[in-house]
A and B are shown apart, each in its own frame.
Chain A
Amino acid sequence: MHNRISVAILALVILACVGQVPASAAGGEVVGMRRLTEQEYRNSIADIFGKDIAVQGVFEPGKRIGGLIEASGAILSITPVGFDSYSKMADSVAVQATSEKARARLISCKPASAGQPDDACAAQTFSHYGLMLFRRPLTGDELQSRVKLAASMTKASGDFYTGLRYGLASLLQSSNFLFRVELAVPGGAKEYTLDSYSRAARLSYLFWNTTPDAELLKAAQANELGTPAGLATQVDRLMASPRLDTGMRAFFSDMLQLDTFDNVSKDSLLYPKWSVQLAAAAREETLRTTIDLALHDNADIRELMTTSKTYINRNLAAIYGVPFNFDEDWVPLAFPPDQGRSGIVTQISMLSMFSHPGRSSPTERGVALMDIFLCEPTPTPPNNVDFSIVNNTDGPLKTVRERLMAHATNPVCASCHTHSDPIGLSLEGFDTIGRHRSTENGQVIDVSATLQGKSFVGAQGLGRFLHDNPKYPACVARKLYSYAKGVDSQDVELQDVKAAYKAFGDSGYRMRNLLKAMTESEDFFRAAPPAVAAKSTKLASQ
């Protein structure tokens, strides 16, 4: 008898908390599942529970697909090793969030008795954090199972907050938090379009690299993101925030492949100046320059290839060969004019990431830059190529250029090497850690190059070549679109981003214009019809 009453009360409580779930919240078809990246996870936890909540654990690595790690989130799952780590992190976050210190701030209700279950307070807590973590309201079942769990844990431990801890931990290790589950509803003939909450998440992770805030969730609940005006209001708000820096840092960090630094080692005998700190500083330098130019100055993105402006700290000053007499950690610098540097392609990051531990590699640099900035990957060489003739430094061919040019005599090699090497050769004025040099093995380095019918000299010539190449801003647009939607950039045609690309060009290639036009286009939320659409039933039927 008593049991039946408490079940009835629980049902009422849950009904009150779940409220009217809008049809779009849980009524759609799953059209995508994107595993959170480490940074997305960390930012989400910090925004939901506060920055003082420590997140310690190992995240499963991603893979770079079409030049972007973000795209792999749409095909990777969670292995036992990864889940073990997520599960421990979930519990640790839940322990911190329900600790005596954090309670007053994070738990908005108080239990009737601290040693007894209180289903109403538990349900209120879980529906609030469930909405934040799942980026949509919990379904009745999802909430009920957590309330029941908390009640039994409270009984077992004699502590209401211990019950909350385990309920929260179960939300934090759910597939609905660890993956951004994208739901879509029919949106016109044979087409699907993302539902309101999935739109909110896509916008939020793109602009701020974190979970939607309360205001965005409210707009989703009111279905405002489905109207052009409502969408524009939120896009403008997200773009006006300084947090846009965070979102775009994540994008450029992925596009410029700055995570490569995690596995770069340099030969400490040949390059004693190289250190983990230097690598971290080089990564930061590139991000500062890029964000400053693209967002703060709202400049033409093509100038990233030619600008002489950068930021340095003490470590970097040593490599650039300039004095560092400042109190600040970071100061602006104009590249020394005699080094022939040009934009981010000549920053320490780009030069050192794509080189061998002991020497520079025009081929690696060329292959990487073609892929990163022009969206043109280079095919792998044939299996049976004999490189030894062209690479013997004791032989007659002294410089890397001479050795590489020997490839041109072999038509099999030439087809690819003429594609990627010129970029790398024009950067030979910089060694494997990005220091300027003018000779190699006693020979003066020739930094001239011819690429796609255009001849240029040195890094400044390369910068100008990339600046003037229409494939470069087109590649930025394709990569941004792929990053936001979680698809392989090699499958994206410029046609798919036509309207946004036109707005980008019309504005003189301002990143903000690209972002705004892309996210306000209905295409941005379009989804392929779900693969099982014919057979499946609606998700909401519970």
Chain B
Amino acid sequence: MKLDRRFLLRGTCQGAAAVMALPFLDCFLDGKGQALAATGKRIPTRFNTFFYGLGLTKSLWVPKTAGLNYETTIQLKPLEPFKKKMNVFSGLRVMVDDNPNFQHWSGVGASATGISPSKTGLFDSKTIDQTVADVVSRGSRFKSVAAACAGDPKQSYSSLGGANNLPAEASPLSLYTRLFGPGFQDPSRTDWKPDPQIMLQQSVLSVVAEDRNRVTQHLGPSDKARLDQYFTSVREAEQQIAAELKRPDIEAKVDIPTAPDEMVVNSALPNMRKVLPLMARLGALAMATDQTRVFNLSISEPGSQMFVPGDPLGYHQSTHEEPLDPILAYQPRVARYNVYSMELFAAFLKELDAVPEGDGTLLDHSLVYGFTDVAFAKIHALDGIPVLIAGGASGRMKTGHHIVGDGSPVSRVGLTLQKAMGLSVDSWGGGSMETKSPYTELLA
């Protein structure tokens, strides 16, 4: 085993023989048990979102008891391996105030921004992942990365506000290329040197950015906002290049796989089951190597078009057309699709939990915000919209709880997440959903 200088300076905990068998980073804990990377820097806390359409079935997912050690329900069963690393919130509300309940949209907007959307398909403000990224992403290569498991780049619930959503990578190959294609600086390389080509690109971007002075004062407000967005994007490209010129901080001992093959990426469940673990794994590796600290993964549009081959209705049509079973009092086919969504969520968490890091796993140093568009899809009801979060936020989030929301606005969860991410924020959301009350009992 080749030991670099920093390892020898700090490598006092277990002896080299043990290190060989253990993931490298496990060696480095400071006196308080906080995870440190090989460079002595604290491991950043990452933020993830997981979006799935069409909610869950209330009678099958809400645990019977509140607090710790609740009994796992039928629809949460796929997530049981992560029960101690999760919190589930039932009985939350979305208040639409003076806006209509935009079908399959109001719940998305409320969950992602804390604000009842005033137009369908648009977020009324920056989404939570971008608010978090503004604070936590400084120094990482990409401010955020989004991926869409059903193959449509528009299935991204990450937005800077306005009409522009940040497009998602729509296949494992395109996600791989973005993260580990040209410009990727492998942190495990020992012969690292800045790439002179990248430096030249920096001069090009400053010329592009200079054009700004000429035009912006002559625009109407909406075009000005659009041009500002363009120049913000130029600046982010400059920051990305700056990150590519630095020796990577984190010496993650993970193997970057070779590029995945082209594959069919669509809403057919068997394909999603193949695509999701690949995308989740790439996202996890990207976070482990600090390419990004914010990763957004979606499995569908809000009215999910997921389908099992042979089912002529598919998921969304089923929610509206399948009758309630008179004995069971729920829609059996819809309930199966609900569980498929949870299985895909579990597959995402599994990949995050599979990356060892410091004193735990990547999942322990992350937060994952799982949200959806409706509570009861059949009638587009929003009350009781399910929220599932996972990850310990590097010890700042207590887990294992079922929180019974008794009509709290869904924005309380968003505020709690931001607090756990270390943002100095006192209130979040708008209208009746503006809240100053995080779930303090969950914050460590």
Contacts and interface: CB of A to CB of B under 8 A. Distances in A.
A221 B237 CA distance: 35
Interface in A484-542: 530-532, 536-537, 539, 542
B200 A166 contact: yes
A366 to B, nearest CB: 16
Interface in A58-75: 58, 60-61, 63, 72, 75
B307 A267 contact: yes
Contact of A78 (B229, B307, B324): B229
A30 B219 contact: yes
Nearest to B181: A88
Given A78-B229, A170-B208, A358 B220 contact: no
B200 A173 contact: no
Given A58-B174, A77-B229, A383-B103, A268 B162 contact: no
Interface stretch (A148-156, A339-347, A443-451, A463-471): A148-156
Nearest to A26: B214
A142 B207 CA distance: 9
A76 B208 contact: no
A76 B226 contact: yes
A377 B200 CA distance: 51
B314 A530 contact: no
B240 A84 contact: yes
A175 B211 contact: yes
Contacts of B69: none
A174 B211 contact: yes
Contacts of A152: 203
B64 interface: no
A76 B154 CA distance: 13
Contacts of A82: 167, 233
B424 interface: no
B234 interface: yes
Interface residues of B, number: 70
B230 to A, nearest CB: 5
Contacts of A145: 207, 210-211
Interface in A387-401: 387-389, 391-392
Interface residues of A, number: 71
A246 interface: no
B152 interface: yes
B396 interface: no
Given A358-B312, A380-B103, A83 B237 contact: yes
A537 B267 CA distance: 52
Contacts of B200: 153, 156-157, 166
A282 to B, nearest CB: 17
A269 B219 contact: no
Interface in A367-399: 380-381, 383-389, 391-392
A29 B218 contact: yes
B103 A358 contact: no
Interface in B215-265: 215, 217-223, 225-227, 229-234, 236-237, 240
B236 A532 contact: no
B236 to A, nearest CB: 4
A87 B214 CA distance: 21
Interface of A: 29-30, 32-33, 58, 60-61, 63, 72, 75-84, 87-88, 91, 139, 141-142, 145-146, 149, 152-153, 156-157, 166, 169-170, 173-176, 178-179, 181, 262-263, 265, 267-270, 356-359, 380-381, 383-389, 391-392, 530-532, 536-537, 539, 542
26 contacts: A30-B219, A33-B219, A63-B154, A75-B163, A77-B230, A79-B165, A80-B232, A83-B234, A142-B211, A146-B207, A166-B200, A175-B215, A179-B230, A269-B310, A357-B268, A358-B311, A385-B379, A386-B379, A388-B321, A388-B378, A391-B322, A392-B321, A530-B218, A531-B220, A536-B217, A539-B218
